[in-house]
Structure 1
Amino acid sequence: MAVTERMTTEAADVDTPSVEPQGGLGVAFGATVKRDLVLLLRRRSEVMNPLVFFAIVITLFPIGISPDPELLATIAPGLLWVAALLAALLSLDSLFRADYDDGSLEQLLLTPQPLALLSLAKVAVHWLLTGLPLALMAPVLGIMLALPAGSYAVLALSLALGSASLSLIGAIGAALTVGLSRGGVLLSLLVLPLYIPVLIFGAGAVQAAILGDGVTAHLAILGALLAVALIFAPWAIAASLRISING
């Protein structure tokens, strides 16, 4: 009797196919974000370099130009935005570099999940550790440039929106140059012309806040630029990665 029950149980185990859990797009996106966050937090120097660069540039300008508060307040919007743009650009070259060097990038191309989605996850991590901290630091550094207190919120919001667009656009150039040994200069030449609209409306929003004009139009355009980048940039990044890896 016991032998019969055991044989029946074994037969049932053989006939029943094993079901392996399969993650969806959300699981793949979350896993990629978690992995990149862990890896970048282990390399804290790569995270800190853009922030330190941003702080040093803003600190040196009052010393090198003039301590006059009116002059500093006049140039503050453009100065803060240009420094933030260059700081974000500084970290773009390493966006896909480590994965390319250790072969992880080739494995991403072989996964069943869309490469555009995984690329978007990597860009999201770049914004979380670069763009968002820059947006939060900017009002503090704006005090050194005699920026009026009423423009701090607009400065942080415009940088948060604009830096997300900068990360998405810059990731296209980073994907195109990831296979080059010295692609940093070429990356700058590729993406800087595309950064100009974001720079114009980002600095314009801060300038409008200083003058007391409406800032809604500038922020709306920054949001529209971000929406367009979110739609098209992930697919362009995926295509660029395939070109760089497969030739």
Structure 2
Amino acid sequence: MFWRLIRRDLTLIARSPAMWMPVMFFVLVAALFPFAVGPDARLLGRIAPGILWVSALLAALLPVETLLAPDMEDGTLDQLASRGVAMELVAVARIIAHWVGFAVPLLAALPAAAILVGLDAAQGWRLALALLLGTPALAALAVVAAALTAGLRGGGALAGLIVLPLALPVLIFGVGAAAPGALKLLAAASLVSLAVAPFAAAAALKQD
């Protein structure tokens, strides 16, 4: 059942016309950012990781209104619950599918984004590793926000307010990936988010 849930979620993402919106948003920010900052390459290289991390967070939140709300509205979640499928399992499957749907294309587009913002190869590899460690936490937080706002009108804006404070440790350690021990702290923050998120999302779904 777990793998069927993941396969179903990935199929829905692949069929969605908005599938490429997160990665297009990510690349668009990388393309426009140098025009806003100007030709100062040193300044651009210093602040580019932070901009790309914030872009990755916002890209993770773009499809938040479609992560769980449609399944709640059409009764899919009720049917799964009536068959004895734990909501925690549904949340884990949705986190994995969401990560594959937004983070994998984002990581594939990262070399182009890194060139656009003027990062060298070493900075690009460090940022790629940091995003690989941190994006699972962003996916987990997005699913929690989706569970909390499912059924609410304008839930996308509210989801952003919920996720932004919770994502601060991931953003701080991700942007500072060059510092000693930052990647370990980032991995720890990501693991904590992944461990807590399924239970938080399940609790929110059960209340709805």
TM-score, normalised relative to structure 1: 0.80
Matches within 5 A, 1:51-200: 51-200=23-172
Give the structure 1 partner of residue 202 of structure 2: 238
Higher relative contact order (CA 8 A, sep 6+): 2
Shift of 1:233: 1.2
Question: Is 2:15 aligned against 1:33?
Answer: no
Q: Is the 8 A contact 2:88 2:199 kept in 1?
A: yes
Would you identify which runs of 4 or more consecutive aligned residues in structure 1 move more than 4 Å?
none
CA distance in 1, matches of 2:136, 2:83: 26
Q: Is the 8 A contact 1:109 1:242 kept in 2?
A: no
Give the structure 2 partner of residue 229 of structure 1: 193
Shift of 1:122: 1.0
The aligned length equals 208
Percent identity, aligned pairs only? 43
Q: Is the 8 A contact 1:135 1:155 kept in 2?
A: no
Please tell me whether Structure 1 or Structure 2 has the larger radius of gyration of its CA atoms: 1
Look up the equivalent residue of 1:167 and give its one-letter code: A
Shift of 1:130: 0.4
Shift of 1:181: 2.1
CA distance in 1, matches of 2:69, 2:114: 33
CA distance in 1, matches of 2:85, 2:76: 14
Question: Is 2:145 aligned against 1:201?
Answer: no
CA distance in 2, matches of 1:155, 1:39: 29
Look up the equivalent residue of 2:201 and give its one-letter code: I
Look up the equivalent residue of 2:194 and give its one-letter code: L
Look up the equivalent residue of 1:178 and give its one-letter code: A
Q: Is the 8 A contact 2:73 2:151 kept in 1?
A: no
- Show CA shifts across 1:28-65 (max 9, x none): 1100011111122111x221111111111111111122
Shift of 1:87: 1.2
Shift of 1:68: 2.6
Shift of 1:117: 1.4
Q: Which runs of 5+ in 2 are unaligned?
A: none
Shift of 1:101: 2.5
CA distance in 2, matches of 1:154, 1:117: 32
- Show CA shifts across 1:92-135 (max 9, x none): 22111221232212212223132201210111000001022222
Q: Is the 8 A contact 1:80 1:138 kept in 2?
A: no
TM-score, normalised relative to structure 2: 0.94
Q: Is the 8 A contact 2:149 2:155 kept in 1?
A: yes
Q: Is the 8 A contact 2:64 2:142 kept in 1?
A: yes
> Could you say what secondary structure the match of 1:199 adopts?
helix
Q: 1:230 to 1:64 in 2, by over 3 A?
A: closer
CA distance in 2, matches of 1:77, 1:31: 36
Q: Is the 8 A contact 2:145 2:162 kept in 1?
A: yes
Q: Is the 8 A contact 1:176 1:240 kept in 2?
A: yes
